[in-house]
Structure 1
Amino acid sequence: MTTVTPTRRPSTVVVGRDGFPQLLRAEWTKLRTVRRWGFTLLAAVLVTLLISLFSASSSGVEIAGGGSSAATGPDGQSIRDDFTFVHRTLPADGSITARVTGPTGVRPDRAPEWAKAGVIVKQNTQSGSDYAALMVTPGHGVRFQSDFTHDVAGGAASASTPHWLRLTRKGATITAYASADGRGWKKIGTTELAEQAGSVPVGLFVASPNVQSMERKFGNVSVNDGPSRSTARFDEVTVKGSDSGADWQRTDVGREAEGEQGKPGQSAGEPGAGKPGAGQPDNGGQGQLTRSGGTFTLTGSGDIAPGTPVQPDLVATSLNGTQLGLVLIAALGVLFITAEYRRGMIRTTFLASPRRGRVLVAKAVVISAVTFATGLVTAIASFLLTMPVLRDNGHKPPLFPEFSLTDGPVLRALFGTAALLALIAVLALGLGALMRNTAAAITTVVVVIVLPLILVSVLPLGLSQWLQRLTPVAGFAVQESTPRHHQVASLCLPEDGCYPQGAWTGLATLAAYAVVVLGIAVWRIRKKDA
């Protein structure tokens, strides 16, 4: 008899299909099939739009800073262009060289850090015309500035020590040089005037911007913003390419409407051009000039620079609703994980997909993708709906820029807002996985994000800026659209959306929080049973 031994087949164990694409599909199916989660997302959209519309309709025009805020530069941006200018005509190519001592303060005794004294070539003497200027500043050394927004550092310099400055002109090209002794020259930079011109005024100038300070105590804000006056001495002045017999003229640029324009033909030796204290009153914004041989002493106020940013930031205002809508987004992120813990479904999920860390990462990818897409649509709709309301309320050029959907700062703010909401959803998901309790996780999100947004409007300014820089609310910096130039001192409250760091730095701070919390949650979910 033949005995047949049956062949033993390897045993087969059915395991969950936990490939990452399958995980993504499974988590997406969960999200879209739970109706109340869809309602939560829709509520976030509606709340964001309604709050943004309310914020825009209640926003009034408030001009920060002083001076000629309505003046506009070559490309229409808000500028300041009011300063004391002593000049001659340069009909063609040539140069101007001067040894500058100053600027030093007249009122107050200490000159502002961005007070300016130096040499300048300007398209004409009208406010808003293009220029190139090489200057000494008390707080920032030698600077080469042009077109109101461009600023190049030219090295350290003391306002109490003479420094040689030179500008050369070749056609529309202006080149700046500086020297500590008048012999060895260092090239600082080159720029092009906006238009090719024939004769242009070239000469010496002094500007002294407003002195500003802001303090908040017990929720009350005190602002000091007053004019200043500074003085500087110029000697060894030479102009090549100009008629050597031509007289120097003094013009108070930007003050024609105030009746402070220097008289045509007024020279240093004429009455009315004296320095305060030499029989002349300190006449506010009007410049003062005395001349002794080849030495000019020039005193003035005002500034030649980008305009002080006007509040509010229109794009950020149009997105104000995200500060409340994020609570619902955070709630959705928390529920996306805690609902499974509460019902015990998380065990089934882990049984089907034993690699628990990948489950949480898949949830993070799905929730961030959904909130990013929803946030982007909401941000675009909010911008399009609120901008006409803001313009109707008086937020118009030149005080406020005209924004369109395709502008770079606008696109950054809109896509950044979508990323902001996506990161908040991931942060909330991580907290939900750590705490496994819906109420506790949502409360924590409110404490770490919403509470700082409230506190920045009541705490002392230094502490408010610390919260903006180091807490998750730093991500809201991505909504700023108003350009801020370092060469202009400006006052802006934290609650007006002024963040001390850059837009992408702020968003990166929030991203770091989300990644760290999610990473800890992945580690914990691997170590502890469901």
Structure 2
Amino acid sequence: MTAPAVTPYRSPLPTARDGFPQLLRSEWTKARSVRRWSVTLLAAVVITVFVSLLSALSGSFDVNGSPPPPTKGPDGAPVTDSFPFVHQQLTGDGSITARVSPLTGREGHIAPWAKAGVIIKASTDAGAPYAAVMLTPAHGVRLQSDFTHDTAGSSASGAEPRWLRLTRSGSVLTASESADGKKWSEVGRATPAGLPRTVQAGLFAATPELVTVQRHFGSTSVGGGPSEVTASFDRITVDGDRGTVVDGDRGTGTWRQDRVGADPTRAAGSPDRSTRTSSAWTLTGSGDIGPLIPDADLTQRSLSGAQIGLIPLAALGVLFITAEYRRGMIRTTLTAGPRRGRMLAAKALVLAGIAFLTGLLAAVLSFLLAEPALRDNRPNPASYPEAALSDGPVLRAVLGTALLLAAVAVLALAVGALLRNTAAAVTLIVVVFVLPMVLLAGLPVDAAHWVMKVTPLAGFAVQQTTPRYDFVNTVCLPENSCYPQGPWTGLAVLCAYAAVALGLAMWRLRRRDA
């Protein structure tokens, strides 16, 4: 008799898989199943937005009268455009050449970025397009145009005479320099925006104010004073359609003396003086030509709540691992996923995603609510560029804030895995970020900048949106949240700390009992 065939049992459930996607799903299930963790995420959003709004509303200013609106450059951005100008009309193609004497300042004091040279400008209106080739005391010969473009020439000292030439050919202006007026070298080329056929070609001298910084523990004072520069010009030649002017003595051109823009420092004792001899001009004046750097980064300040909002996310990062140790669940986790490194990597990836989305929501709300309040509270809102979420620097700062908070959460997870103690790990993370902020005000500027470069605090550099120009003197103070490094460089430092800490946590997790 033949035995009946036996059908093997088949479970209706899908076959279990021990892979990284399953680990991710498991960690995500843990994260969303603990209600108080969701409350922690909500607290991070609320704290970040609240602190940002509080900072915006408390930063009001009392101003007597209405400050004048800033000068706008060709692209609509605020600029500084104020200097004594000796000029004549130049129609069509042509050039202007002059030998510039050594630059001198008042009582021997001269700003490193004082400048004197030849310039071709669309008009005498402040903010009009221009290109200029100039001699500076500390930065050699430069070609600058339309306030934000700068090209370096030779490193000629401002203590030596230098021949300078600016030649127009259509819409292109070519700058050249020479030590003897015979052998010339090209400095660079510029294409100012919308130059008319008839422009103003001439001589100029300008210098920014002298800035002094006195720093003591708990207080910093930034002072400034009027500055002036004196330069002499000879061997002046203007070639154009109307003829040639040599040393201002021959030809059909007529020299005029004007002042471009207003100069508030002149009332403090820096009058312009333009004198002419038979074959030379001497200009003494103040003012400057360049971008107007706002005294505050409103976008960065609108995101300042992240400095406190990171604390709940750091606590969540620590609890994401220490809670399992405290309750003994880590053994179950490691049994289900015995590859410990992959388990910790899955936790880090899930936590980073949650923290990024939370940080992004907090950053967007903070910017939309705090930035308008900050602008309205400034003495002259027009001095600050309009900012929108779609602007490149603003979008980078908002997304960077979310990445910053995600990196902090991963760093906290790694510290929690290393210490296996919630209180100790949270305390360490808070100290790492808060203690440097407290110490910065008492350190010398160079030491404070070093701390901001090498500690995890560097990550907050990603929130900066104010452009920096090497040819503009600015005071970068730590208490103004001015970071010496670039935005992405600072964030990379923080991410490096998180990556190293996570690597150490994986190494120790593999070599230590659960």
CA contact (8 A) 1:396 1:402 kept: no
Alpha-carbon distance in 2 for matches of 1:104, 1:245: 32
Alpha-carbon distance in 2 for matches of 1:470, 1:137: 34
Of 263, 287, 290, the residue aligned with 1:302 is: 287
Change in Cα spacing, 1:82 to 1:68, as seen in structure 2 (3 Å) is: farther
Matched AA of 1:42: L
2:140 aligns with 141
The DSSP-based 3-state class of the residue aligned with 2:82 is strand
Alpha-carbon distance in 2 for matches of 1:410, 1:437: 38
Alpha-carbon distance in 2 for matches of 1:61, 1:207: 31
Alpha-carbon distance in 1 for matches of 2:100, 2:399: 48
| TM-superposed deviation, 1:283 | 8.6
Matched AA of 2:108: D
Alpha-carbon distance in 2 for matches of 1:351, 1:108: 79
Of 349, 352, 363, the residue aligned with 1:365 is: 349
1:270 aligns with none
| TM-superposed deviation, 1:397 | 4.3
Of 420, 429, 433, the residue aligned with 1:445 is: 429
Alpha-carbon distance in 2 for matches of 1:254, 1:214: 28
Change in Cα spacing, 1:146 to 1:213, as seen in structure 2 (3 Å) is: same
Alpha-carbon distance in 2 for matches of 1:16, 1:440: 37
2:4 aligns with none
The DSSP-based 3-state class of the residue aligned with 1:175 is strand
1:102 aligns with 102
| TM-superposed deviation, 1:60 | 2.8
Write out aligned runs for 1:125-274 (5 A): 125-241=124-240, 242-243=242-243, 244-255=251-262
2:444 aligns with 460
TM-score, length of structure 1 as denominator length: 0.88
The DSSP-based 3-state class of the residue aligned with 2:483 is coil
| TM-superposed deviation, 1:415 | 0.3
- Alignment length, in residue pairs? 489
CA contact (8 A) 2:122 2:195 kept: no
Alpha-carbon distance in 2 for matches of 1:62, 1:421: 35
Query: Which deviates the most, 326-335 or 442-451?
Result: 442-451
The DSSP-based 3-state class of the residue aligned with 1:47 is helix
CA contact (8 A) 1:77 1:398 kept: no
Change in Cα spacing, 1:25 to 1:257, as seen in structure 2 (3 Å) is: closer
Alpha-carbon distance in 1 for matches of 2:349, 2:96: 62
Unaligned stretches of 5+ residues in structure 1: 1-14, 261-281
The DSSP-based 3-state class of the residue aligned with 2:385 is coil
2:340 aligns with 356
CA contact (8 A) 2:476 2:484 kept: no
Alpha-carbon distance in 2 for matches of 1:419, 1:116: 42
**Is residue 315 from structure 1 mapped to residue 284 from structure 2 by the alignment?**
no
CA contact (8 A) 1:167 1:174 kept: yes
CA contact (8 A) 1:309 1:484 kept: no
1:71 aligns with 71
Write out aligned runs for 1:518-529 (5 A): 518-529=502-513
Change in Cα spacing, 1:256 to 1:496, as seen in structure 2 (3 Å) is: closer
| TM-superposed deviation, 1:69 | 7.9
Tell me how large the CA RMSD over aligned residues is: 2.2
Unaligned stretches of 5+ residues in structure 2: 1-14, 244-250
| TM-superposed deviation, 1:293 | 2.7
The DSSP-based 3-state class of the residue aligned with 1:302 is coil
**Is residue 87 from structure 1 mapped to residue 87 from structure 2 by the alignment?**
yes
CA contact (8 A) 1:132 1:193 kept: yes
CA contact (8 A) 1:452 1:467 kept: yes
CA contact (8 A) 2:476 2:483 kept: no
Matched AA of 2:508: R
Matched AA of 2:70: A
CA contact (8 A) 1:308 1:489 kept: no
Change in Cα spacing, 1:110 to 1:396, as seen in structure 2 (3 Å) is: closer
| TM-superposed deviation, 1:256 | 8.3
CA contact (8 A) 1:62 1:310 kept: no
Alpha-carbon distance in 1 for matches of 2:19, 2:263: 74
Alpha-carbon distance in 1 for matches of 2:276, 2:378: 47
CA contact (8 A) 1:16 1:352 kept: no
2:404 aligns with 420
| TM-superposed deviation, 1:177 | 1.3
CA contact (8 A) 1:74 1:129 kept: yes
Matched AA of 1:213: T
Matched AA of 1:491: V
2:59 aligns with 59
Alpha-carbon distance in 2 for matches of 1:27, 1:235: 77
| TM-superposed deviation, 1:93 | 1.1
Alpha-carbon distance in 2 for matches of 1:137, 1:255: 22
| TM-superposed deviation, 1:102 | 2.5
Change in Cα spacing, 1:427 to 1:62, as seen in structure 2 (3 Å) is: farther
1:291 aligns with 276
The DSSP-based 3-state class of the residue aligned with 1:140 is coil
Deviation per residue, 1:55-84 (Å, 9 max, x gap): 111123599xxx998222122212111111
Change in Cα spacing, 1:284 to 1:123, as seen in structure 2 (3 Å) is: farther
CA contact (8 A) 1:70 1:78 kept: yes
| TM-superposed deviation, 1:319 | 0.9
The DSSP-based 3-state class of the residue aligned with 2:275 is strand
CA contact (8 A) 2:352 2:410 kept: yes
CA contact (8 A) 1:173 1:190 kept: yes
Percentage identity across paired residues of the two chains: 55
Alpha-carbon distance in 2 for matches of 1:70, 1:61: 18
Alpha-carbon distance in 2 for matches of 1:283, 1:411: 42
